[in-house]
Chains A and B, each alone.
Chain A
Amino acid sequence: MLLDKPISNIENLIPQKAPFVMVDTLLGFSCENIISSFKIIETNIFYKNQTLSEVGLIENMAQTVALHTGYDYFLKGEPTPMGYIGSIKEIQILMLPQLDEVIITEVRILQEFMGVTLVEITISNTKKKKIASCTMKTVMAT
């Protein structure tokens, strides 16, 4: 599932644009999974009190789901679709990542039905310590 070479030029694979981009590298991809990474920098709009805020973490989760869809469409030669968060459940935020920390976000696709994707998401740090998790429904815009 891990890519032979991580893809760092991902801005064309997601609909979000700077400064609202909360993923920076695609590490792994399959039909049912995706892994991204993201480095916390001082100029991030969700960087507050020396950490990435909860909102930033949630946006990182949603954008990793968007990256799965965007990369899938890229492989099919189709443009990146728009989408939005439908709902978030069972969210746990155990800590906030700090400056220069790299977070690893893993998404597992549980079900796709009529444009709604149900996913399970876990964010951890490079030491494999869990930072946050949730289940999320995302919706493709038509």
Chain B
Amino acid sequence: MNKEVIIEKINNFLIDEFEVESEDISPEANLKETLDLDSLDFVDLVVSVESNFGVKLEGEDFLNVVLLEDFYNLIENKLL
């Protein structure tokens, strides 16, 4: 799966499942603020990633994830 497809799939579930407006989505956007995530919501993000990409995220995976770009890269690396 190339990065463009990964980004498109991620953006689609952010819009559909997290009610993010498409205009708020950009690689430079802050993930936590854009999705309005609290500590309970991260589990929903993990569920979405697992159902869309078949990969399981762990807590430490998010240590360096600040921007949406970081999140795209995380999923891309998990799929390698």
Residues of A within 8 A of B (CB): 86-87, 110-114, 116-118, 137, 139
Contacts and interface: CB of A to CB of B under 8 A. Distances in A.
Q: Name the 10 nearest CB pairs between A and B, nearest first.
A: A114-B59, A113-B43, A116-B43, A86-B40, A113-B46, A118-B43, A111-B47, A137-B40, A111-B43, A111-B46
Interface string B40-69: 101110110010000001110000000000
Interface residues of B, number: 11
Contacts of A87: 40
Chain B interface SS verdict (over half):
helix
Interface of B: 39-40, 42-44, 46-47, 50, 57-59
A116 B59 CA distance: 11
Nearest to B62: A114
A78 B54 CA distance: 32
A114 B46 CA distance: 11
A118 B47 contact: yes
Q: Give the residue among B39, B42, B43, B44 with the most A Cβ atoms within 10 A.
A: B43
Contacts of B46: 111, 113
Contacts of A112: 43
Given A113-B42, A118-B43, 14 more contacts: A110-B47, A111-B43, A111-B50, A113-B43, A113-B46, A113-B57, A113-B59, A114-B39, A114-B42, A114-B43, A114-B59, A116-B42, A117-B43, A137-B43
Contact of A139 (B40, B47, B50, B59): B40
Q: Give the residue among B42, B46, B57 with the most A Cβ atoms within 10 A.
A: B46
25 contacts: A86-B40, A87-B40, A110-B47, A111-B43, A111-B46, A111-B47, A112-B43, A113-B42, A113-B43, A113-B57, A113-B58, A113-B59, A114-B39, A114-B42, A114-B43, A114-B59, A116-B39, A116-B40, A116-B43, A117-B43, A118-B43, A118-B44, A118-B47, A137-B43, A139-B40
